[in-house]
Amino acid sequence: MLPALFQQISLNFMTMFILFQLYFHYKERITSKLLRQIIIGTGFGIIQYICLRFPLTLPDSSMPIFIGSNIFILAAVYGGPVGMFIALVIGQIIMKPGRPSQVPAANDPNMIMPSGGPVEISSFQPIGGMLANPDLFIILFGIVAVLAYRFLPLKNWQVWLCLNILFQIKLYWMLGDTLTTSLIRCSVEIISGALIYYYVDYMHRAYQSKKQLEQLATKDSLTGVYNAGYYAMASERLFAEAKRGKSNLALLIMDIDHFKHINDTYGHPVGDQVLKEMAGLLKHAFPGRHEIVCRNGGEEFSVLIPHRDATEVTRTAEHFQENVRSHVFAADREDLSLRLTVSVGICFYSEDCTRHQDMYERADRALYQAKHNGRDQICYADSHLAISS
């Protein structure tokens, strides 16, 4: 039994690793919370499929052991009610009578077989099968699981353990197995389930830690937009794509006019508030998935804009500048009503740009020209470093 148990758990772990790696890889592209829950529920349903298709059998028991049979309880943690329901549906469909047996032959030394020899899975009832309506029992138990995770003042693993013990007590009551058989079933299912729970929790925490480290390394702590370090990496990557002819590329550099006066007059807390609100206006103006808003330092921001032509970029920059003029900064402070302007320099990729730094230097010169012309302007750098407004 132990070799078969080890083989089954290894198969589950390998499946979970592959599914979760795929999910984490594409998670950032999935913006819908409902779609995420559906994908998580489907993944746990696939894991439950493997658990239910390869059971272990015990002598003198009316039902085999299903490693990880209560995966749907775990699905409630990460996929919510939707994920749990999908995992339940997949499990119940698989366990309907008439499915081909995956129970090994009686001479398999790795398995403990019933005294009567090999048994078809279809001869077993689904989980809860001794009840008048096993499907209803599973659904009700799933609802209890969701409510328990939502409202009980316990850690997730404590709720999971309580629910599994409750489930095993229910099995003992309805199957009528001996105490020894029930203890074996309970031990195997809970211990194997605990390993699965720990593994899923470990992968989830590792992913969260990775995202937190990435955020610390790439995001500006004050405004939440990307920092100068990330700008350098993204600029080099997008410049290489533009040079290969895969996309257009524009660089916008923006500076808040007379920002030093704000800090000197109203203090740094007000200045920080202005920076946060300006970052929000930039993200609202350039919301595209491929558009990268960065804070280069101080009151200077930059935006890398691929896949858009010069007309679109110009129109968006002008609209952003109008939004800044009409926006009231630090409006939550009763004694303030700040109206600000910004100066903008824009450079479009051209073939005579040999390095990504060239675009920054040209956009920066255009920004300087906008300030020199009286601020609150947009200036453009052409391919010959000449400045046009």
- Note whether 253 and 367 are within 8 A (CB): yes
Which of 145, 154, 94, 150 has its CA nearest to residue 124? Answer: 94
Round to whole Å and give the CA distance between 168 and 186.
6
- Bridge-based pairing state of the strands 342-348 and 292-297: unpaired
Those residues with Cβ within 8 angstroms of residue 252's Cβ, 6 or more apart along the chain or in another chain? 302, 303, 305, 313, 317, 344, 345, 346, 363
Round to whole Å and give the CA distance between 363 and 47.
53
Q: Which of 189, 277, 291, 299 is catalytic?
A: 299
Round to whole Å and give the CA distance between 372 and 385.
16
Q: What is the DSSP letter of 111?
A: S
Q: Is 299 annotated in the active site? A: yes
Round to whole Å and give the CA distance between 109 and 119.
16
Those residues with Cβ within 8 angstroms of residue 49's Cβ, 6 or more apart along the chain or in another chain? 90, 91, 94
Round to whole Å and give the CA distance between 338 and 258.
12
- Bridge-based pairing state of the strands 292-297 and 249-256: unpaired
For the CA atoms of 61, 62, 65, 70, the dihedral, rounded to the nearest 10 degrees, stands at: -140
Please return the burial class of 260, using the count of CB atoms within 10 Å of its CB with bins 0-12, 13-18 and 19+. exposed
Phi, psi of 329 (to 5 degrees): -85, 150
Those residues with Cβ within 8 angstroms of residue 116's Cβ, 6 or more apart along the chain or in another chain? none
Q: For residue 354, what are its two tokens?
A: 């040999």
Any idea which residues carry the catalytic annotation? 299
